[in-house]
Amino acid sequence: MKRCKKCGEVKPIDEFYGAGGMKDGHRSECKTCHKSRQRQWYQANRVHAIAEVKRWQQQNKERLHAYRRAYRQRRKAEDRDAHLRRSFGITQADYEELLARQGGGCGICGRKPGKVSLHVDHDHATGEIRGLLCVGCNNALGQFHDDPGLLTLAADYVSCDMRPFVVELELVDVIRDRARALQDVSG
């Protein structure tokens, strides 16, 4: 226990910041009083404090960039997990389990994730997760508005033989060209 020199309250020692030069190894003011004093100083010297930070950043660009890169790398996994929890209600472990059940790739085409992770595909009406899709397959489903009927029509279109229809169109063009030629000759 220790008495704060600012507020006079007796508080547990862990309520005081450490200070090597003090007899007991802790500052004489409690954390609450110290934070209050720091906040007041910042409000009074805000412009100066911001200018000092910017000056330091300009003088130490490489050090600052290295720190930010390391920070982003450390936070990447945490940020990804937070995004999955917030958006879909699953954890990174749930995502990895779903990816393993799909054979490690897209639920439609089987493409393995590269630099970009697979998208969590879900029913927009119910929120139920259907699987993991690559960007292309996820966008394709979106373009077809998740409508099974449209997807079936698209599959039929892609799989049918369009050559007879194309030949018919070519014959129509030939017939039109001959008709125009006959009109030009007969005047």
Note the pLDDT tens digit of each residue in 118-138.
Answer: 999 998 888 899 999 999 999
Q: DSSP of the chain, one letter per residue?
A: -EE-TTT--EE-GGGEEE-TTSTTSEEEEEHHHHHHHHHHHHHHTHHHHHHHHHHHHHHTHHHHHHHHHHHHHHHHHHHHHHHHHHHHS--HHHHHHHHHHTTTS-TTT-PPP-SSPPEEEE-TTT--EEEEE-HHHHHHHHHTTT-HHHHHHHHHHHHS--HHHHHHHHHHHHHHHHHHHHHHHH-
Return the pLDDT at 127.
87
pLDDT band at 79 (very low <50, low <70, confident <90, very high): very high
Single pTM value for the model: 0.55
Is the predicted pLDDT of residue 187 greater than 70, yes or no?
Answer: no
Return the pLDDT at 163.
60
